[in-house]
Amino acid sequence: YVFNPIIVDNVMFVLARNNSLVAIDATTGKEIWIHEGLQGIAPRGINYWESKDRSDRRLLFQLNSYLQAIDARTGKSITTFGKDGAVNLREGLGRDPSTIVKTQSSTPGKIFENLILLGSAAGENYMAPAGDLRAFDVVTGALVWQFHTIPHPGEFSYETWPPDAWKYIGGVNTWGEITVDPVRGIAYFPLGSPTYDFYGADRHGANLFGSSLLALNARTGKRLWHFQMVHHDLWDYDNVAAPQLTTVQRDGKTIDVVAQAGKTGFLYVFDRVTGEPLWPIEERRVPPSDIPGEQVWPTQPFPTAPPPFARQTLTADDVNPYILTAEERDNWKKRIANARNLGLFTPPSLNDTISIPGAQGGANWGTTAADPSRGIVYVLSINVPSIYKLSTQAPVPGGRGAAAGPQAIVRGRTLYEEKCQTCHGGDLRGDGNYPSLVDITARMGPESLREVITGGRPGMPSNNDLGQPDIAALVAFLGSPNAASGPAGRGAGPARGGGPPAGPV
């Protein structure tokens, strides 16, 4: 788990071994209660809430795409919350709930007054749901408001997408941290890129609110302002780091600001009430795409200040001469020199394409902090350049999303796209960093494969949030004759190479 304990009245609440939530006396270390059987709980934290008279104290957390509440004093489930103690987060997202692999984010959401505000990590595959932002009543579990991050007809910025894009495009989700200004009642949501991460020929337009910072009225969900850091994102430059609140002095005035560090390597700073940039942000022309049907947005925002905190260029001269053999160094120099390399917003191509800071670079989750008293924002900069390359794949007969065999195999394909494809590729062949999964069932055997899928391996995250039917479906897909033929009907396959991120993207 990546989790800071919560301490209330000398009681420490922690996620512990064997998928349990434990209350401990913070002075003596004595166990007060333990709530077991939480396999699949969101690993990056829980929320604590108490009523004004403190008679009602509860812990709220996400488990297998359900929002649940337990009594903080006893550790027992609160059965009056939602339906029998849980709210199904798969419902209300414009998709058949039974087709959604998961919706929960690894992060715990944010408590504001009597609401819990939630983002999601609903997947990056075709027909994954949009990452709608929602607020639930902490006492009843009732939905209070919902904001469509891919607009529906009549909603603001609907025209930045193809018609009815919300019915088939997914992503645009907050899987990172939400920040709330409790005095003003403003919630700041850092939003991710649309599906697919590196291919957008089926979603022409700027694609609001993809890769944006969105300020909402925390009580009503009404949009107050937004800023899109990346138009028509083709690089997975989603906003993941928590928006940071601080106060600065400028021209003799005190300004409360919100600062968003991006994977682009820029820090974007705004008046937290109006959304006005603290320094000018210029729209500059960027390179076009060479992918048929792709329409790159012609300009992208470039902050004029502060300067980038991460590297945004990579050339053959940057290859480290000390950690590679002469042959390896020459090979990398040639590959970089021959790659498409036109700067921060070089669109992915059928040829090698340099991406820096890259999908794993810049600022990622958990990499920012602020000192409000001094007006300082701290950013842990990650330099992980990547080389991406799209691939053309033959459609499955019947077109996009057509059935590829028995229902279990169809389900397994969806799970593969959600869980495995980023690393192992649409053709299952992996690359130099990730092994091929072609014929993996024959090579390993179904039972051993189940164990690896469930428990993970070094360099591979576990999938203990999947139930046995989903594990069986994934094994069935990997063992099917057409598994390596690529996703159903996708025109261009996933970008691969250069260490794609593990976990939700």
Identify the CATH number of the domain in which residue 294 sits.
2.140.10.10
> Quick check: 137 pLDDT over 60?
yes
Do 100 and 211 have their domain in common? yes
Do 281 and 412 have their domain in common? no
CATH of the domain at 413: 1.10.760.10
> Quick check: 500 pLDDT over 50?
no
Out of 289, 304, 319, a domain closes at 304
User: What is the rounded average pLDDT of the residues 152-179?
Assistant: 96
pLDDT band at 165 (very low <50, low <70, confident <90, very high): very high
User: What is the rounded average pLDDT of the residues 102-117?
Assistant: 92
> Quick check: 399 pLDDT over 60?
no
Q: Can you give the residue range of the structural domain that contains 458?
A: 407-485
> Quick check: 105 pLDDT over 50?
yes
* Higher-pLDDT residue of 339, 321: 339
* 380: DSSP letter: -
Out of 304, 321, 341, a domain closes at 304
Q: What is the pLDDT of residues 424-440, one digit of tens each?
A: 887 888 866 678 898 88
Contact 419, 475 (CB under 8 A): no
Cα(416)–Cα(456) distance, rounded to whole angstroms?
15
Looking at the domain assignment, is residue 123 inside a domain? yes
> Quick check: 80 pLDDT over 70?
yes
> Quick check: 375 pLDDT over 70?
yes
pLDDT band at 68 (very low <50, low <70, confident <90, very high): very high
Q: Cite the beta strand spans of 93-219 per DSSP E.
A: 110-112, 115-118, 133-137, 143-147, 179-181, 186-190, 212-217
Do 291 and 415 have their domain in common? no
Contact 191, 216 (CB under 8 A): no
Q: What is the pLDDT of residues 230-283, one digit of tens each?
A: 999 999 999 999 999 999 998 899 999 999 999 999 999 999 999 999 999 999
User: What is the rounded average pLDDT of the residues 14-39?
Assistant: 91
> Quick check: 461 pLDDT over 80?
no
Looking at the domain assignment, is residue 431 inside a domain? yes
Contact 141, 116 (CB under 8 A): no
- Tokens representing residue 35 in the block: 């709530």
- Tokens representing residue 275 in the block: 């959304």
Quote the pLDDT of residue 450.
81
Count of H-run helices and E-run strands, the chain? 6, 25
Looking at the domain assignment, is residue 380 inside a domain? no
User: What is the rounded average pLDDT of the residues 189-209?
Assistant: 95
Q: What is the pLDDT of residues 442-458, one digit of tens each?
A: 777 777 788 788 767 65
Number of neighbouring beta carbons within 10 Å of residue 111: 17
> Quick check: 310 pLDDT over 90?
yes
Count the domains in the chain: 2
Quote the pLDDT of residue 32.
98
Looking at the domain assignment, is residue 333 inside a domain? no
Residue tagged 């576990």 (tokens)? 462
Do 430 and 284 have their domain in common? no
Looking at the domain assignment, is residue 163 inside a domain? yes
> Quick check: 88 pLDDT over 50?
yes
Out of 284, 304, 324, a domain closes at 304
> Quick check: 369 pLDDT over 90?
yes
